[in-house]
Amino acid sequence: MQKLAHTDLLSLEQYARQRAGFRARAIAHKRARSVPLGPHLTLLFEDRTTVQYQVQEMLRIERIFEPAAIDEELAAYNPLIPDGHNLKATLLIEYPDIDERRRALENLRGIEHRIELLIGDSPPVLAVADEDLPRSNKAKTAAVHFLRFELSAAQIRAWHGGARIGLRVRHPFYTAEIALNATQSAGLGADLDA
């Protein structure tokens, strides 16, 4: 999947005029790429559209229009776009109650290293987490992590061949497993080279 360049972005003025429609399309697109993993984890599988929306919003919020500053935003967000042989996701740990969330983030240290992508009978693909910087320490984990699932050519063929696709987490304080539905499987499979 091609990375974003300056020419893919709208100016602040253009974005202001088109934001309502762009935002509605981006949110619907993100909803289709969000996969709950139990009651408190959600994986948002990133692609060019989700990243473009995030960059456009950052440029808008920060009022960024200088080319060098735009380059910095692109450098920060482009690594979230999958490369054709992997999937990339933002992991969200969600607890509405503040005290429950604090306790959960203490107990769930290292959970980002226990997320697995399941493709048919292939060995599970363990997520590579937070390549830019660690987000867990001895006291707690963060509520947001960035994951990469690196797939072999055989796993990609199995995916495109209709293998059952799922996600699993096995952590002492949190266990869940889900099978992707046909729409999710096809949508995420489109990120992978045939």
91 closest CA partner among 125, 75, 109, 115:
115
Q: Is residue 1 situated within a structural domain?
A: no
pLDDT value for 130? 87
How is residue 41 written in tokens? 């984890």
Cβ-contact 149, 86 below 8 angstroms: yes
Domain count, the chain: 1
Burial class of residue 149 in the structure, from the number of CB atoms within 10 Å of its CB (0-12 exposed, 13-18 middle, 19+ buried): buried
> Per the domain annotation, does 91 fall within a domain?
yes
**What is the pLDDT, as a whole number, of residue 107?**
97
Which residue range is the domain that position 55 belongs to?
Answer: 6-189
| pLDDT score recorded for residue 135 | 83
Give the CA distances from residue 8 to residues 33, 49, 51, 59, 193, in Å, rounded to whole numbers and listed in that order. 21, 11, 11, 13, 22
User: How distant, in Å, are the alpha carbons of 20, 34, 72 from that of 66?
Assistant: 24, 33, 10
**pLDDT for residue 137:** 83
Cβ-contact 108, 173 below 8 angstroms: yes
For residue range 59-92, list pLDDT tens digits in order. 999 998 898 999 999 998 899 999 999 999 999 9
pLDDT digits (tens, 9 = 90+) for 4-40: 998 999 999 999 999 999 999 999 999 999 999 999 9
In a domain? residue 133:
yes
Residue 194 inside a domain? The answer is no
Spacing of C-alpha 170 from chain mean position: 19
pLDDT tens for 113-157 read 999 999 999 999 999 998 877 788 889 999 999 999 999 999 999
Q: Using an 8 Å Cβ cutoff, are 19 and 60 in contact?
A: yes
Residue 120 inside a domain? The answer is: yes
